[in-house]
Structure 1
Amino acid sequence: MSSSKFSALAVVVCLLGASFYMYEFILQVSLGVMTNELMRDLSLNAASLGIVSAFFYYAYMPMQIPAGLLHDRFGPRRILTFAILVCAFGALFFSFSYSMWLASAGRFMMGMGAAFSFSGALMLIARWFPAGYFPVMTGVVQLMSSIGAITGELPLAIAIHRWEWRPTMLYLALLGIGLACLVWLIVRDFPPGHAATPYSPGDRHRPAHQGDAIRLSRVFGRMQSWWVALYSFLIWAPIAAFAGLWGVPFLSAAYHITIANASMACAAIWIGIGFGCPFIGWLSERIRRRLVVLTTCGVLGIIGSILTIFLSCLRPFFIFPFSC
């Protein structure tokens, strides 16, 4: 989008795309607040619970590259709608599971659908907003993911306490089906009046396989791509492992607080991500020094991890209020 302006429809379309990212984060972190219930009802131990959780990422990780190619070939509207439905039916399957392997299959379906969320939201931003808005809007997408993660902490813990985990997952499945309907009805691949190009989705004359192979070889052939991927893995993996699964039971045991209060403490991670991402996106665009921003964020992550995990005996100030 070359214009310096954007429409209200662009905001609605991109927020719906980001809403899928928010929804999949609710599903992604949901195991963290139902560990005791799952271990009880499915006869799991810590190791088998970790296996169930990991099945989400077994699908999520390898689907990243196909997700981008499919978005480009068929357009985000169709792909996002289908991916949301896959997530929703994975949640539905999970709610009726009675063994570790059935629960793992449900998590696998959720991860497979979730793999399309972030790339789809970014594609909508790139097509509906001017280029200068891309860093800030990417931060907004991350903000939506943080809202989803926060919802998957304390609010979901309260819902599970009230309705148990099976009905709660069923309600989440219905929520996903509703979101898929909204995306199909409202989201469009391009803004109104967008001129068709030889690479527009649905163009049968496009040399798709040849084009995809060339683009992938260029990406994989650049060392910078691998450094960015490695950085993303190292800075995100601790968040996924701690805030997404083991943070709540760890904080509950280490600080002797309730599951609800541990969920509130873990939500502080997502609040920091939610407020920080739009600001970091704006700052990086303003100063044009990406390496300084990335290094600073990594150092802050190390300091926060040390304070939270290894200095529990000091009861950091962000945990202490919740233990009263």
Structure 2
Amino acid sequence: MAYIARITTGLGVSFATISYLKAVSVWFEPRKFAFAASFLATAAMIGALCAQAPLAYLITLCGDWKMAMLLFSVASLLIAVVYYIVVRDFNPKQPEASSPNNQLKTLDALKEVIKNKNNWLLTFYVGLSFTAVDAFAGFWGNAYFREAYHISREEAASIISMIFIGMAIGSPIIGKLSEILDSRKGVMIFFHIIGTISLSFVLLTKTTATMSAILLFIFGLCLGIYMLSFAIGNRINPIIITATVAAFINTGEPILGAIFDPLIGYFLDWSWTGKYINKAGEVVSQYTSSSDIKYFELESYHFAFTTLVASMIASLVILVMIKDKKD
């Protein structure tokens, strides 16, 4: 039942990104698409932050996590009702983008998307550049910071949350900058390089908890460029297939993210020194009970995290290969 619930939740939220980007393409001129679309990332990161401390507080207030989740669900439903009432599909100033007479069949639209090489590059770019968020922030980061700086789970989570705060702030700033400069690819390359350097210091060296938080904020700020991928997709494809293009590009993140999570685990196992943490929290050299878990040293994490740095470098190479309409 839990698997079914997670699948249906995923199916339900998958339409949010696509419908938002389609609405932006209908109601905003192409030059302002990047800035308007960037607020999607801000909203998503605010949601991610709400799932941290605010959710924990609500659970404490309700005394039950089920009631807290129910309240979140009701709030989401109310927002959906407001969206349905306020947002309109048809824009008389851009009839070609919203008129039903100009729409393609699903298979025809998908064929148009697939045959454009740049759409594939954008998909892989988004997927590879987002692996650090999916794999590190979402899975391995907490354990890494607890081992590196001997801090609590909550303190480690607060460091990781700097990525989301950075993205929430950086995405609209970068979107506006790209609008002012009328440049997407150049802006993306510049911030991608800075973000990669910042992330590399966190993943491959031991600094301090405070410095790691600052560097992750910078990384998150720079990663706000990923929304410009959708802006490029909007420019290089016919406007009537904007939603299909956005959906196609958006598949890169979950697919590649699902690959890198176990890949990091594989490299951690490969460099494991054979030590365990027992029930008392002590590091021991022999397996004593079923409650023992593997203990990974800092060097093992650094070795495994080279995959994430490599993914950022690979995504930069792909970014250079992408052709914007003005290239």
Superposition TM-score, scaled by structure 2 size: 0.56
Q: Within 2, Cα distance between the matches of 1:298 and 1:104?
A: 36
Q: Within 2, Cα distance between the matches of 1:125 and 1:166?
A: 35
What letter matches 1:298 in structure 2?
H
Give the secondary structure class of the aligned counterpart of 2:211: coil
Aligned to 2:132: 238
Q: CA offset at residue 238 of structure 1?
A: 1.7
Deviations 1:124-181 (A, max 9, x none): 1122223332111111221111211121222223334553432222222222222222
Structure 1: tracts of 5 or more residues without a match: 1-101
Superposition TM-score, scaled by structure 1 size: 0.57
Identical positions, percent:
26
C-alpha contact (below 8 Å) 1:308/1:316 kept by paired residues: no
Aligned to 1:221: 115
Q: CA offset at residue 319 of structure 1?
A: 4.2
Q: Within 1, Cα distance between the matches of 2:122 and 2:97?
A: 30
Q: Within 2, Cα distance between the matches of 1:218 and 1:208?
A: 10
Matches within 5 A, 1:1-324: 102-162=1-61, 163-191=63-91, 200-201=99-100, 208-209=104-105, 212-312=106-206, 314-319=208-213
Q: Within 2, Cα distance between the matches of 1:254 and 1:145?
A: 29
Q: Within 2, Cα distance between the matches of 1:182 and 1:294?
A: 34
Q: Within 2, Cα distance between the matches of 1:137 and 1:196?
A: 19
Count of matched residue pairs:
213
Deviations 1:162-204 (A, max 9, x none): 534322222222222222222223222124x568679724x6x
Q: CA offset at residue 292 of structure 1?
A: 2.7
Deviations 1:282-317 (A, max 9, x none): 222333443332223332332233333333464342
What letter matches 1:181 in structure 2?
V
Q: Measured at CA, do residues 251 and 281 of structure 1 come closer, stay the same or move farther in structure 2, by a change above 3 Å? A: same
C-alpha contact (below 8 Å) 1:136/1:278 kept by paired residues: yes
Give the secondary structure class of the aligned counterpart of 1:190: coil
Aligned to 2:301: none
Q: CA offset at residue 103 of structure 1?
A: 2.3
Q: Within 2, Cα distance between the matches of 1:281 and 1:195?
A: 22
Give the secondary structure class of the aligned counterpart of 2:32: helix
Q: CA offset at residue 239 of structure 1?
A: 0.8
Compare CA radii of gyration and give the structure with the larger one. Answer: 2
Q: CA offset at residue 232 of structure 1?
A: 0.6
Deviations 1:99-140 (A, max 9, x none): xxx322222111111111111111111222233321111112
RMSD over equivalenced CA pairs, Å: 2.9
C-alpha contact (below 8 Å) 1:158/1:260 kept by paired residues: no
Structure 2: tracts of 5 or more residues without a match: 215-327
C-alpha contact (below 8 Å) 2:42/2:169 kept by paired residues: yes
